[in-house]
Structure 1
């Protein structure tokens, strides 16, 4: 974890009482802001909190899919705690969502994703990672639209899983959402990520030393 960081949960002190989306703020239990190492090379981005993540307040935790995701992070050296931990000890990884609130009955609307975009943009700008990991199709579509020059609709997460996509300022390394991951896809991603860690993935863009 970054030596100057006090804690991993909502490290930038973003608004936990946000009222920008009436259709979400009146049905949510809490706002789930980013979590992890603010000096990370890798930022993992999902669509929206699951019921488990809403309960814990930590992205990608609190349920079976979260444990599968945290197992992957642990297998590549980014999580120093058990996959079942609700406050994982992350190193070189930061977790966030396109939208920070959960609706119990539906996926977030395009308007809600756009309204919440400044939070994610602020995370990415302040962390300045090397790799963005879209977790699931919605995250891949949104990040590809923002950070690549190709039409976002051309990117299918099943086809792009465990590959790298050259972006503007960042590489994307898409992952099938852990809810849908097969055992084979899980192992494929672990092997891919370990290989990625063994390459010179850092770009020369004025990063501070870790």
Structure 2
């Protein structure tokens, strides 16, 4: 955890009462901003809060989130049980494209665009080395800003557990945790250990001072 950071939850004090998406305000339990180490070199991005995240205000908690938590625990970035609602993390930050959950549908393109400034601000302030897009929609959304490839050229099944050279960042995509098999989790962990953590990934971009 960054030495100057006081808490993991919404460390940048983003608007916890945001009402920019009228179709979500009456459906959500709360706004779910990012959670984790503000000095992180790894930033994990999902599509929207899980149902458990909507209740507790922390991304990637609950049944689907536990798979992601377990992978990063295996890599040494999460130091708490995967079923916790307040993970103890180091060198990783968890967030989403959108900050509110509709219980019956995925976010609209307009809602993703409305939330984009929140994500952009987190990426700018954290200045990570590696972005981990979770799921195809997130991969395509980040591709627009951070790669030179067309978003429709990405297939999450093919890109899972690979490294994509981006503009200023490297992307290491992860498939949707709801459909992730044990072998998918193992492949991601192995790729991270053998192809990311084993080399000086910090050379991918110039580091800003903290």
Correspondence for 2:57: 57
Matched, 1:76 2:75: yes
Q: Distance in 1 between matches of 2:190 and 2:207?
A: 29
- 1:141 paired with 2:140, answer yes
**Aligned equivalents of 2:207 and 2:199: distance in 1?**
19
Q: Is the aligned partner of 1:120 residue 2:123?
A: no
- 1:185 corresponds to: 184
Deviation (angstroms), 1:207: 3.0
Give aligned pairs, total: 208
RMSD after superposition = 1.0
In the TM superposition, what are the counterparts of 1:30-45 in structure 2 within 5 Å? 30-45=30-45
| Structure 1 alignment gaps of length 5 or more | none
CA deviations on 1:69-116 (whole Å, 9 max, x unpaired) are: 111010001001111111111100000000000011110000000000
Correspondence list, 1:1-210, <5 A:
1-62=1-62, 64-195=63-194, 196-203=196-203, 204-208=205-209
1:53 to partner: Cα distance: 1.1
Note if contact 2:143-2:151 (Cα within 8 Å) is conserved in structure 1: yes
Deviation at 1:55, TM superposition (A): 1.3
Deviation string 1:19-46 (CA, Å, 9 cap, x unpaired) is 1000111211100000000000000000
Normalising by the residue count of structure 2, what TM-score does the alignment of the two structures yield? 0.97
